[in-house]
Structure 1
């Protein structure tokens, strides 16, 4: 645990901020017991009085608590979610699908790129499960559009999860809500579902291969196909899965 700070008048604040970074990054988790004041002083290269000031500041913010016989313990971090902040940005009447797709074109290809760089074994297994479930559903005599739409949403959320950035996951959750009108299950066709599934497979292959450039390209191509149909809908054309 790297807590070294300079020994000056701002040392208590610097130490508190360093501990806050460890809490927000997840290195220190709710319920974790912090080292003793003496150990924290040694780790930070500061006096114990500095440690006490830093802990008091964190305690006032509800980030740590001092418990008799247990020392200082990390508490849950309550911070506003990005998704909650974004949900009110666009009233439903102004949620223009073309603009949302433009947002996705900016965000999701680099996100897939990061997923290829950061995905771990458990994350890849989750991605495979989503694809396998979609494959199974598509193989039924009468595939459930509702089920496939749900798996479509889950695929994009899982890719965001593989990028290992909680804020990106929240953003994709909101984007999924904004694109809900285009996913009306009564407007889906088997052809479009198959096309989307194949595109998902190419994205997953690139992520699994650890190829960020290919993942970026595959996601961009997938979203580009969707944007083209939105821009030039055909009579009776179905809304797109995404």
Structure 2
């Protein structure tokens, strides 16, 4: 059996993935929560999910609800199931759509909708950065540093997009707010792979990685306003670039 190492993300981000879901439309909520976590890379490709009883208990749903959700995730190609000894449910990291398919997806958004999304995203990320500067300890900062380093080295747009989204989730986790973390996971699921369209450019990737490092430094120094402003600026610039691409379609 191949041993798959878990991604080295902060425990706060992983705990948010496996915390109880909303009582409304629980099957959809489980599918969305786990699916978003897989697409962000918070759960590693090939990683085995907890057993059905354990996972249902963590998410606060019945095993029947969980099985329906796992079936939906299998249909989306995000989970595979193996039977017999060593079997269970395993993460299947999806391929990022080709550039032309991403542009087709971007075309579904109006520029007004993209700007509205950017406003919400910037507000959420800025609040998380400010709280992280007040609350985060050394253990909470290491996942952010690691993700920033990985982004600086990432060679393909798919990896860059996942790392970009993961940084924002880990920033919320560093704020020690389960609700903010869940909101950020959901938002990143809504954004999907669209940031790949702007992160493919090496110069911009380097700019983003540098700004992420500056956010981490500000959080470490307890400079809440600086951390918040830097985080908001990063989101607003990415959104503006997506809007610019959208205008060319």
How does the TM-score come out when normalised to structure 2? 0.53
* Structure 1 residue corresponding to 2:207, chosen from 178, 182, 195: 195
Asked if the contact 1:81/1:170 (under 8 Å) is kept, the reply is no
Give the Cα separation in 2 of the matches to 1:216 and 1:161: 15
Question: Per-residue deviation at 1:136?
Answer: 3.2
**1:134 aligns to what SS in structure 2?**
helix
Distance 1:224 1:81, change over 3 A: farther
From the CA coordinates, give the structure whose radius of gyration is larger. Answer: 1
Q: Structure 1 residue 115: deviation in Å?
A: 0.6
Please give the alpha-carbon distance, in whole angstroms, between the structure 2 residues aligned to 1:94 and 1:233. Answer: 11
Shift of 1:207: 0.7
Q: Which residue of structure 1 aligns with residue 233 of structure 2?
A: 221
Residues 98 and 230 in structure 1, CA contact (< 8 A), matched pair in contact too: no
Tell me which of 181, 185, 190 is aligned to 1:178.
190
Corresponding residue to 1:84 among 22, 29, 32: 29
2:148 corresponding residue in structure 1? 131
How far does residue 172 in structure 1 lie from its aligned partner after superposition? 0.3
Find the partner of 1:157 among 169, 182, 185: 169
CA contact (8 A) 2:198 2:204 kept: no
Q: How far apart are the structure 1 equivalents of 2:158 and 2:134?
A: 32
Deviations 1:122-142 (A, max 9, x none): 1111111112222333xxxxx
CA-CA distance at 1:117 after TM superposition: 0.6
- Quote the Cα distance in structure 2 between the aligned partners of 1:175 and 1:78: 18
Q: Give the aligned length.
A: 154
- Distance in structure 1 (CA, Å) of the matches to 2:216 and 2:23: 28
Q: CA deviation at 1:119?
A: 0.5
Partner of 2:239, secondary structure, is: helix
Output the TM-score relative to the length of structure 1. Answer: 0.54
Aligned to 1:3: none
Aligned partner of residue 22 in structure 2, secondary structure: coil
2:127 is equivalent to residue 110 of structure 1: yes
Per-residue deviation at 1:210?
Answer: 1.3
Aligned residues: CA RMSD: 3.5
Q: For 2:125 and 2:20, how far apart are their aligned partners in 1?
A: 27
Check whether the contact 1:97–1:179 (CA below 8 A) recurs between aligned residues: no
Give the Cα–Cα distance (whole angstroms) in 1 for the partners of residues 237 and 198 of structure 2: 20
Task: Report deviation, 1:177.
Answer: 1.2
Can you give the 5+ residue segments of structure 1 that lack an aligned partner in the other structure? Answer: 1-76, 138-142, 238-242
Cα gap change, 1:234/1:172 in structure 2, threshold over 3 Å: closer, same or farther?
A: closer
